[in-house]
Structure 1
Amino acid sequence: MAEDLFLRQGFDRTSLEQIATGSGYSVGSIYNFFAGKDAVYSAVLERHATSLGDLLRTAAESAGTGIDKVVEMARAAVLDLRGAPGRARLTATSMTTNDREPEENRGAFGAVLARYAEALGEGQRDGTVRGGNPRHLAQFVGGLVLAQAQVDPEITGAPDGIDLGDFLDIVRGALARPGSEARPAS
């Protein structure tokens, strides 16, 4: 219920009273589990981040080289966002806000970025991913996935959006080591 309210109304327009009413608890009961609305919001983000981290781990296991892992992870993330498009907006908002515990909100996705960084580091070791700090490149991949959620025709309904295959080609092209055998996405 809290996630639905945050998605529909945003953080600022969602109150603990609304969360309590929607969940069948009193505000006092919510305080037994959470310190306040910020903590509820962080729990919503953490639940999504944990689910996405597990999904990315599974996607990486099915691929071969480091660049293949990164591309498969990006594919899995976009498909996940297609299943719940509002999450992209919630995630992007949480990662760019500066007025309420931004490090805590961004930290919810630390495990997701770590998964990308792990695959990117593996790709650097096997020669398929360009050089650079894997954590920084992971942030780049995360940004690309969130940007895709804004232009993906399956999410936005825009006929002139960027389809998944083209997006994956962009990810591969941006991160593949120059001169490596960067196979296009299928």
Structure 2
Amino acid sequence: MTDVATEDGLNAADAGALIRRRRKERGLTQEQLVDRTGLSSQSYLSALEKGRYHIGRSEHFAAVARELQLNEDDIRAISPGSVITLHLPAAHSAASRGYRVPDAPPTPIPDELLEAAALFGSSPELAGLREHRWQAWMASVPHRKRPATPGEWLDFYMRVKDTIDPPEIAH
């Protein structure tokens, strides 16, 4: 492999090898790089690194370049026409841009849901009803017809408990 760029830049195989080498130098796994850059999947990154696709044509090239801390020569070699500002944070949240982001108010837990947790949550298979993450998630989900009784909350929980794993929500 050579790192010599033509006027069109490195071919896909050489560009992919350069990305793989820089990723390993940074001590990142493919999964970590995918998580940090918005690439669609580990298998897509693997294909990029093997030269099946050209990283310079990926919409996530800028994020990859920032995360791997590619230098200007690497960027020009991969994609000669690219202009990438390397000092931007990888995440482009409002807070990272200097805006003050107010804390979200805690999700109110309906009394009927709390009652369902007290009535049915002592059973091991229904223990999730007692967990705050479940209660907050169930209360925040848009419903066609919001459960109005402890039994309706139990029915809703039973329908989703095997397919959903709600995140922990600060309270």
What interval of TM-score do these two structures reach, taking the shorter chain for normalisation? Answer: under 0.3
Select the structure of larger CA radius of gyration. Answer: 2
Structure of greater relative contact order (alpha carbons < 8 Å, 6+ residues apart)? 1
Q: TM-score, normalized by length of structure 1?
A: 0.23
